[in-house]
Structure 1
Amino acid sequence: MASSFENYQKRRLISSYFSVILSIFLVLFLLGTLGLFVINSKKITNDFKENIPMTVFFMNEANDSILNAFDTELKNSLFIKEYAFVQKDSAAKNNVDIVGKDFMEFLGFNPLQNSFDINLKGDYVIADSIKKIETGFKKNEYVSEIIYDKQLVDLVNDNIKRISFYMLIASGFLAAIAMLLINSSLRLSIYSHRFTIKTMQMVGATKAFIRKPFIWRGIKLGLVGSLLAIIALYILVTYVDKYFPSLGIAKDYASLGIVFGGVLSIGIVITAISTFFATQRFLNLRTDDLY
């Protein structure tokens, strides 16, 4: 009978520990995911903005030396991520491949122009910077037209500001929820030991002596939950890097170190503080209030 009761108590204790670890893991995983997104938000937005192309068309009068000079200018420009020269005959061939008809057959000539497809660095894909770059290109008298999606640029930048604002609010809200959930789980875990705490106190044990094993156990539970969250975050980073290698998240060891270190620190600190206050609450209760 006694053995059966002891087994029941052990199962109940293991279940309590498991629920605490699971709560810590889920909360820290969400916090870590949010942290990764916030830290890499600039990379993510820049990756999107750098895929907004700008095309510079040249008049037919522009000879090879003029085109080569412009190529050199682009090569030495700090705001250029990458660019490609599109020869008008190649552009005509690509048009035939896409449309399925050769428009030069009935026109008798190639109406297309030589051009450069340019992708700017993300920091320069804002209205003011693009306008300055466009004005600089137009100083070349052989440039006939510059095309890029102005509305998309404005829309992207407006949405980035809006998303960043909401992300800050979400970060604060989730951090508060994390503390409340972890604190609640630990309090429920310690609640089952309230009679043990009061018994130790009645035989003369000091509050610090009673708190110490509970705090140490809380830290160990926080450490396990944090490590599980870090493993899950690493799997998530590997998955994202597989499908979006241009972001280079998996190779940004500094950012990963900050997030993983933050998750580990938060898991240990919150559990230690929550355990301290939870045990303190039961230490301050009168015996009659335990029931």
Structure 2
Amino acid sequence: MKKKRPARLKRRLVRSYLTSTISIALVLFLVGMLSLLLLNADRLSDYVREHVGFTLVLNENVREAEVLRLQKILSATDYVKATKYVDKEEAAEQLTKELGEDFVGFLGFNPLFSSVDVKLNAAYMQADSLIILENNFLAHSQVKEVYYQRDLVRIINENVKRISLFLLVFSVLLLVIFSTLINNTIRIAIYSQRFIIHTMKLVGATRSFIRRPFILKNIGYGILGAFLANLGILALVFSYRQDFEGILDIQQLHTVGIVFVVVLGFGIFISWVSTYLSVNKYLRIRYDELFYS
């Protein structure tokens, strides 16, 4: 029976340490994903803005060489990100798919015009800039008409500001929640050793001497949890890198490095603070209070 009891106690401690590490790792994983989102918030808003652009409707008899020249001129400007030529046959095919019927066969002719789709850089997707750009596009002899979704651009610009503010508030709230979760995990782990802390205090150990092993151990859990969390973030991001393309800039090593440092720093800091406060609590209270604290 004496041999079984230490073995059972050892298994219980291992399960406790394992549970603490996994809990910290899961919370730090969420911290890392939140950091990745915040670091790419501007890129996300740019991605949305740059997918709304102009459609330059071309004159009826514009030759292909003139269209290519127009595209080269536009691509050389600071405000154009990309251009795509859509001839009238391709436009008719696209509209036929959307309508679900062959309107060309019904009408007997193709009423559509060739066009150039223009995607702008995000910095120029503002109401005042778009008015100037519209006039610039109309100044080209190949262009008959300029079309873009004014209301959609206005809604996007308004919502980007609102979402940025919401994201900031939401991030602060999540960090408070994440800190509380890690703090509670560590407090529960230290609660099970409160009598050991009291015994060390009775034999004359100083407070710093008593705190040191607990702090070092829990910082170790924080580092291990951060390592597991960073592995999980890497696995998730690279598994879905094609879906994240254009939204999350995972190719820049400094972005990934910042996320890793944030996760590691957060894990170490919260582990240290939570352990320090929890151990101090049991250093202050009397022996009889340990049974219901």
**Structure 1 residue 264 and structure 2 residue 254: aligned?**
no
Structure 2 residue matching 1:102: 3-state secondary structure: helix
1:215 corresponds in structure 2 to 215
Amino acid at match of 2:284: N
Q: CA deviation at 1:159?
A: 2.1
Q: Structure 2 vs 1, CA of residues 146 and 32 (structure 1 numbering), >3 Å: closer, same or farther? A: same
Q: Which moved more, 1:164-173 or 1:242-251?
A: 242-251
Q: Structure 2 vs 1, CA of residues 90 and 226 (structure 1 numbering), >3 Å: closer, same or farther? A: closer
Q: Which moved more, 1:257-266 or 1:119-128?
A: 119-128
Distance in 1 between the 2:39 and 2:284 partners? 43
Q: Structure 2 vs 1, CA of residues 97 and 168 (structure 1 numbering), >3 Å: closer, same or farther? A: closer
Q: CA deviation at 1:177?
A: 1.2
Q: Which moved more, 1:252-261 or 1:84-93?
A: 84-93
Q: CA deviation at 1:93?
A: 6.3
**Structure 1 residue 84 and structure 2 residue 110: aligned?**
no
2:102 corresponds in structure 1 to 100
Q: Which moved more, 1:196-205 or 1:261-270?
A: 196-205
Distance in 2 between the 1:93 and 1:32 partners? 45
2:171 corresponds in structure 1 to 171
**Structure 1 residue 278 and structure 2 residue 278: aligned?**
yes
1:29 corresponds in structure 2 to 29
2:8 corresponds in structure 1 to 8
Equivalent residues of 1:61, 1:142 under 8 A apart: no
Distance in 2 between the 1:128 and 1:63 partners? 32
1:120 corresponds in structure 2 to 120
Distance in 2 between the 1:94 and 1:168 partners? 41
Distance in 1 between the 2:265 and 2:138 partners? 54
Q: Which moved more, 1:275-284 or 1:128-137?
A: 128-137
Q: Structure 2 vs 1, CA of residues 11 and 96 (structure 1 numbering), >3 Å: closer, same or farther? A: closer
Residues 89-116 of structure 1: CA distance to partner in whole angstroms, max 9, x if unpaired? 5545666677435359734xx5433421
Structure 1 residue matching 2:240: 3-state secondary structure: helix
State the TM-score, normalizing by the size of structure 1. Answer: 0.89
Amino acid at match of 1:100: D
2:182 corresponds in structure 1 to 182
Distance in 1 between the 2:152 and 2:125 partners? 10
Amino acid at match of 2:189: S
* Residues matched between the structures, number: 289
Distance in 1 between the 2:144 and 2:152 partners? 22
Equivalent residues of 2:67, 2:142 under 8 A apart: no
Equivalent residues of 2:75, 2:81 under 8 A apart: no
State the TM-score, normalizing by the size of structure 2. Answer: 0.88
Q: CA deviation at 1:65?
A: 7.1
**Structure 1 residue 224 and structure 2 residue 224: aligned?**
yes
Q: CA deviation at 1:11?
A: 2.3
**Structure 1 residue 48 and structure 2 residue 34: aligned?**
no
Distance in 2 between the 1:196 and 1:96 partners? 78
Amino acid at match of 1:148: Y
Q: CA deviation at 1:226?
A: 0.9
Structure 2 residue matching 1:2: 3-state secondary structure: coil
Amino acid at match of 1:72: K
Distance in 1 between the 2:272 and 2:58 partners? 67
Distance in 1 between the 2:65 and 2:233 partners? 53
Q: CA deviation at 1:224?
A: 1.2
Q: Which moved more, 1:153-162 or 1:224-233?
A: 153-162
CA RMSD across the alignment:
2.4
Residues 225-281 of structure 1: CA distance to partner in whole angstroms, max 9, x if unpaired? 111111111112113313233446331211111111100111011101111111111
Q: CA deviation at 1:199?
A: 1.1
Amino acid at match of 2:104: D
Distance in 2 between the 1:213 and 1:96 partners? 72
Distance in 1 between the 2:276 and 2:107 partners? 84
Q: Which moved more, 1:199-208 or 1:238-247?
A: 238-247
Equivalent residues of 1:237, 1:249 under 8 A apart: no
Amino acid at match of 1:274: S
Q: Structure 2 vs 1, CA of residues 91 and 189 (structure 1 numbering), >3 Å: closer, same or farther? A: closer
Structure 1 residue matching 2:77: 3-state secondary structure: coil
